[in-house]
Amino acid sequence: MNSGKKLRVAILASGRGSNLQALLDAAVEPDYPAEIGGVFCDKSDAQALERAKKAGVPAVWVDPAGENYEDRLAAEIEAVGCGLICCAGYMKILSPAFVARFPDKIINIHPSLLPSFPGFHGQRQALRAGVRVAGCTVHFIDEGVDTGPIILQAAVPILPEDTEETLSARILWFEHRIYPLTVRLIAEGLVHREGTRVRLSGVDINHEGGFISPPVKIL
């Protein structure tokens, strides 16, 4: 970021929050250009809330059963001054009205190489389809389901002995790396949405044992 001020990030989560933890861990590094401003869950028993509390980050349950759920959620996010929203295992589909309220400010991570296998159980879909390569995708959220412009992807081979559990675990290793990396790139002003595509400036990405597109070096 040009000003030296850290980008404040809101996290939306519904479950255990492993990608949330990856972002929390990244945010404690002194040179990381983003900070977690709040974690917002639609489930009162989500482990993500406990992870946030342990990290000293505001943890907020917003009851989805009440009226105007998304308006209340948006108000909570705006109250903590977050400039980016990261969906991390958030299991509700955001309405077009909510997305329009935060244009180009909401991103998601999905366990497949989009546009292949959108929706639930991307790993299972990949195994059933018999593809040779699977992976994960960080993308902007738009009005569709897993249809927004792609920012980063990481690919892993599917092994003959893979089960949904083993493949998911291998993909998750990359999820925990490219999600914090994507937030860093956004905070540093290196991510530029151009219609249905995303341009990254000044980025050099590569990794042994898998690959990330575009090629980015992960230390």
**Catalytic residue (choose from 110, 121, 139, 207):** 110
What was the pLDDT predicted at 62?
96
Task: Kindly give, in sequence order, each residue whose CB lies less than 8 Å from that of residue 84, ignoring residues fewer than 6 positions away.
Answer: 7, 8, 9, 10, 34, 105, 106, 107, 183, 186, 187
The reported pTM is: 0.90
The fold of 108-219 is Rossmann fold (3.40.50)
Known catalytic residue: 139? no
- Please tell me the distance from the alpha carbon of residue 185 to that of residue 183, in angstroms, as a whole number: 5
Strand order from edge to edge, sheet including 34-41:
59-61, 34-41, 7-13, 84-87, 106-110, 133-140, 150-157, 211-213
**Residue found under tokens 């308006």:** 71
The single-letter code of the amino acid at 100 is: A
Establish whether the linkage from the previous residue to 214 is cis, with ω within 30° of 0. yes
Q: Which residues of the chain have pLDDT under 50?
A: 1-2, 207-211, 213-219
Task: Kindly give, in sequence order, each residue whose CB lies less than 8 Å from that of residue 108, ignoring residues fewer than 6 positions away.
Answer: 86, 87, 90, 138, 139, 141, 146, 148
For the chain, the structural domain boundaries read: 1-103, 108-219
CATH code reported for the domain at 1-103: 3.40.50.170
What was the pLDDT predicted at 68?
95
**Residue found under tokens 């983003």:** 34
Q: Do domains 1-103 and 108-219 have the same CATH topology?
A: yes
